[in-house]
Amino acid sequence: MVFVNDRRSDLHERPGAAAPGRSASKVLAVARKSLAEFVRNRRNLFLTLGLPMLFVLIFGFAFGGGSSEETYRVAVASHDAGASWDEFHLGVRGPNGTTEMAQPAAAIRAGLGASFGANASFGANMTGILANLTYKDGKRLIEIVPVASEDEGLALVRSRDVAAMLVVPEGFSRTVGAAIFQSQGARYGQVLLAPDPAPNATVRLVGDPSYSSFSVANGIVQGVTSSYLERAAPQEGAKVGTSTESVLSSKLDTFDFIVPGLMVYSVLNVAPQCAAVLTQEQEKGTIERIKITRVRTWELMGGVSLAQLVIATAEVLLMFGAARLMGFHNVGSLGAGFVLVMLTALSVVGVGLLIASFAGKTQEAANYGILFSVPAGFLSGSFFPIPSVPLFTVAGHVVQPYDILPPTHANRALRDILIHGKGLADVVPEMTALVILSVVFFAAGVWLYTRRRLRVTR
């Protein structure tokens, strides 16, 4: 075996052969060279330094504090008829039975009457507290929508005309009043004689867990109910509970709400794949060889799109299979959901074509594809509900900045179908927007890619 000592390169110098100062200067020279190359490559410069800042700006706009001050509409179905203060009595228990005591019951009645009126109406009072919540600028946080029946409120919840429905049960005021008298009487060694001590006062909050506004309204309402008796009468042990109920037809868990969004996100990953494949064809000269075969533009675009749609189909099927293994429960039609996913894939292929029209190298194309797919996944609600940022209303539908992204409409419609059990006829607005955006993105991608890469093709 022969070893060759190449002295022409400093990389083969013997350890310790160079002086420390000379080594440091070489390190700095190599660093300057690398930095100069990095700065000259504008695309890499943007991806490395600009991309993180762009992500912060995008997510700061979408999720940052103070970006939107939405008023959440809450339907209220109250079965509470109120109560008279004279219904509540205190006394003492002894060996020979119970003895009613006029005091301090009379003083407690007088104090509560001064605060809440001639009769106890704690349901109306608690609803009033919700209605008076405001932002710093005075805008209302909650708008109360009274309904005559729970069925009327459920219809509003299902149509998402309200964020939630608060149901105040029958006898709520008597239960709350009893809790207050029992707590205050205990300070004087007395017990509640009438009415009979009732279980904890509990209201019901009904909503759609997949609706982002319900999550917010739920937190607000529970914040008020849990501290309500601290506001009404600050004593220990008296609380109002809140039970949360779903309007969905089956019992679903958090994983069930996430799966539709994951399916849409898997399709978004076609963008970097499509862009990288087309750019690689350009780098290798395959496009030039295809031109020689006189393949028409629509034939080439059709073949590329078909291949990407097949890949998207495989991704969705594999993901759905894995989701079923993990316990995913779908209520609606898988066929209708598949139509939505394929429409989304068509728009994503269009994005891939747009990227391939400008990318010079395969890695750049993949990076730009990720630059689209990751923010689009988050901002379209694939992973968790996005805050409401209303711009204007069209035909009764609120338009938001995220609506320019096809996956936004796909996520909404897919959850309605797979989780709520709706059909395509029930998601016509989302379908219409998805079809229009998919056609626009795909047509723009085909036009630009043809113009920049396939000018010779006829």
User: Quick check: pTM over 0.85?
Assistant: no
Q: Report yes or no: 127 and 78 within 8 Å, Cβ to Cβ.
A: yes
pLDDT tens per residue, range 317-361: 898 889 888 888 778 888 899 999 999 999 999 999 999 999 888
Structure tokens at 293: 């075969």
pLDDT tens per residue, range 38-78: 778 776 677 677 667 766 776 666 555 544 578 899 999 99
Helix boundaries (H) for 88-163: 105-116, 122-131, 150-158
* DSSP output for 262-297: HHHHHHHTHHHHHHHHHHHHHHHTHHHHHHHTT--H
End-to-end CA gap in the chain: 60
- Fold (CATH) for 72-246: abc type-2 transporter like fold (3.40.1710)
- Give the strands of the sheet with 164-168, arranged side by side: 142-146, 72-78, 164-168, 201-207, 240-246
Q: What angle do CA 437, 442, 444 make, to 5 degrees?
A: 95
Structure tokens at 320: 């759905």
Provide the pLDDT for residue 385. Answer: 72
Helix axes of 406-418 and 428-453: crossing angle, nearest 10 degrees? 140
458 band by pLDDT with thresholds 50, 70 and 90: very low
Q: Please determine, for residue 425, whether its predicted confidence score (pLDDT) is greater than 60.
A: yes
298 band by pLDDT with thresholds 50, 70 and 90: confident
In the chain, list all ranges with CATH 3.40.1710: 72-246
Of the listed ranges 2-11, 124-133, 307-316, 439-448, the least confidently predicted one is 2-11
Residues 150-155 have a mean pLDDT of 92
Residues 234-253 have a mean pLDDT of 71
Q: Please determine, for residue 172, whether its predicted confidence score (pLDDT) is greater than 50.
A: yes
> 62: Cβ–Cβ under 8 A, 6 or more apart, which residues?
378, 379, 386, 387, 389, 401, 402
Q: Please determine, for residue 144, whether its predicted confidence score (pLDDT) is greater than 90.
A: yes
The proportion of the chain whose per-residue pLDDT surpasses 90, expressed as a percent, equals 23
Between the CA of residue 430 and those of 191, 249, 339, 402, 407, what are the distances in Å? 59, 21, 12, 13, 10
